[in-house]
Structure 1
Amino acid sequence: MAKKKKLKIAIQGIATSFHEVAALTYFNEPIETVECLSFHQLCESLKNGTSDYAVMAIENSIAGSILPNYFLLQDYHFNIIGELYLPIHMNLLVLPGTKLSDIKTIESHPMAIRQCTEFLHALNGVEIRESDDTALSAKRVKELKLKNTAAIANEFAAKKYGLQILEKRIETHKKNFTRFLVLAKRSNGKIESNKASLCFEVANEVGSLADALTTFKNNSINLTKIQSIPIIGRPSEYSIHIDVEWKRRKSYDTAMHEIMRQVKNLNVLGEYKKAKVEYK
């Protein structure tokens, strides 16, 4: 009997990064992660077929939306087939035996740093340095034997690289999570959906956006997120990204039929199943 081929999942970062944890959690089966040090590389991996799916962070409950990723969603025209809310716990990792007073530099991904601002602001004389990935920062501390540098990363990175967790759960708010999107080159028609991500443009006139959003309200469609993205080369014009949820598919279909007459360049980025938010 032929052995089942592992799915290749593009992630931002390296092994033990939060993206890998999200990919393993979502697919819940043995997978092969394709490590990408930028979100652009992640999209190129999916586009070129070196990965079957991609997992991309889109927002964090402390740091907010990752705006550049909305531009990538527009540019690459991938299909969102799922989402995941992953609890995020940040830890300060150091070489064994290092004390807090020894640390001169702390490095991590910019989003991780933003999630730990309260802890970091309380430190004196410590340089905060941005890197491409949380797990990569942990790997650098280990491989380069950086006695005066700490990394902000998760406990899996601490175990993999043999680092000591000097301070646990240093995120500013303990109910911290990141929302990840699962991307594919084409739609999976088998998914039983109750949520969708859309983007569109509206006329630069009084009430045009309000009229469009009222259409969803009138059809009992719940609006869970709205994000405006500047349209490059067209000052004062924006692409509107929204997430909507429904209980009856017919209500969503009716709303979409009506909204097509109210907006321009309507694009359904994906229809998928709503994920649960479970704090840990």
Structure 2
Amino acid sequence: MDKKRVAIQGIKASFHEEAAFKFFGEDIETIECNSFKQTCEALKAKKADYVVMAIENSIAGSLLPNYALLRDYRYSIIGEVYLRIQLHLLALPGVKFEQIKNVESHPIAIRQCIDFFDEYPYLNVKESTDTAACAKRIRDEQLTDTVAIANQLAARTYDLEILERRIESNKKNYTRFLILTDHKETDIPNANKASLSFQTTNEVGSLANVLNIFAGHQVNLTKIQSMPVLGRRNEYNFYVDIEWEDASLYQQAISRVLRHTVNFTLMGEYLKNERV
């Protein structure tokens, strides 16, 4: 049986590959891409079967450019993954902390470790495009004065040792990833979460009416994000995530919401993933 081909932003052992492993298992073919747009293009060109895309972080917030990609490519959302972001200091085997002069990582990862760097102000911090790429460079170039900030998967993949564990400032740091596909057969048995997009009229209370319909049918709103409609002043697309326990009440709510919205799109129904 052919392996599932999963497009990720970054290289092997990045957090996106870790999220892919959590959803699909490790017996997959990872398609490395330099950008989120490239992951969508890989799916469009049939070079991948799925895309794993970060959509929000508990510290950094929503990744707004990725909402634009969801709008432009209109792929189906078939699942989600919450990944705890744990950041470690990785070095070549045998390297001592006293030898370190340089630290490399993605700028967001660096910012998430600010308390650690306050303790060691003499370290030269360098920004890079990908956490895993920094780990790979240390392995490939055998750098003994440089460490990377990356995950445990990167340490395992590139044969590095963890000098310092859990150096992130906030220990409750999560990123939510979406699983996208262009397959038409996307029915998920017992789905209990959905992602929607729609516009409302400019009438007073129009958005409130939609939200009240969900509340009245015991459908829980877990996320709402607005994005301007291209070329239209004061008009917005709303991206909404909802959860339910009673599928019939959910279906009734959707039927009513359709009457109060414009350009309604059901982006996907799937199983919610609990944080761990």
Do the two structures share a fold, i.e. TM-score over 0.5?
yes
- Going from structure 1 to structure 2, the CA distance change for 1:97 and 1:165 (only over 3 Å counts) comes to same
- From 104, 109, 113, the equivalent of 1:116 is 113
- Structure 2 distance, partners of 1:94, 1:29, is 24
- Structure 2 distance, partners of 1:53, 1:211, is 35
8 Å CA contact retained: 1:22, 1:180: yes
8 Å CA contact retained: 2:78, 2:186: no
- Going from structure 1 to structure 2, the CA distance change for 1:207 and 1:189 (only over 3 Å counts) comes to same
- From 193, 209, 232, the equivalent of 2:207 is 209
Residues 183-262 of structure 1 mapped to structure 2, 5 A cutoff: 183-192=180-189, 193-262=191-260
- From 268, 271, 274, the equivalent of 2:272 is 274
Task: Identify which range, 22-31 or 107-116, moves more after superposition.
Answer: 107-116
8 Å CA contact retained: 1:8, 1:31: yes
- Structure 1 distance, partners of 2:114, 2:235, is 33
Determine helix, strand or coil for the equivalent of 2:82. Answer: strand
- Shift in Å, 1:276: 1.8
2:46 paired with 1:72: no
* Matched AA of 1:118: D
2:152 paired with 1:155: yes
- Shift in Å, 1:153: 0.5
2:234 paired with 1:264: no
Q: How many equivalent pairs are there?
A: 275
- Going from structure 1 to structure 2, the CA distance change for 1:119 and 1:64 (only over 3 Å counts) comes to farther
Q: Provide the aligned C-alpha RMSD in A.
A: 2.1
- Shift in Å, 1:168: 0.8
- Shift in Å, 1:200: 1.3
- From 168, 173, 176, the equivalent of 1:171 is 168
- From 6, 9, 13, the equivalent of 1:16 is 13
- Shift in Å, 1:104: 4.5
* TM, length-normalised to structure 2: 0.90
- From 80, 84, 89, the equivalent of 2:81 is 84
8 Å CA contact retained: 1:38, 1:132: no
Determine helix, strand or coil for the equivalent of 1:86. Answer: strand
8 Å CA contact retained: 1:13, 1:35: yes
- Shift in Å, 1:87: 2.1
* Matched AA of 2:86: H
* TM, length-normalised to structure 1: 0.89
- Shift in Å, 1:34: 0.8
Output one character per residue of 1:89-113: Cα deviation in whole Å (capped at 9) or x when no partner. Answer: 1111233455556544432223323
- Shift in Å, 1:130: 3.2
Q: Which runs of 5+ in 2 are unaligned?
A: none
2:39 paired with 1:42: yes
Determine helix, strand or coil for the equivalent of 1:261. Answer: helix
- Structure 1 distance, partners of 2:34, 2:188, is 30
Aligned-residue sequence identity (percent) comes to 52
Output one character per residue of 1:37-83: Cα deviation in whole Å (capped at 9) or x when no partner. Answer: 21111111111110111111112222222221111111110000111
- Structure 2 distance, partners of 1:39, 1:106, is 25
- Structure 2 distance, partners of 1:45, 1:158, is 27
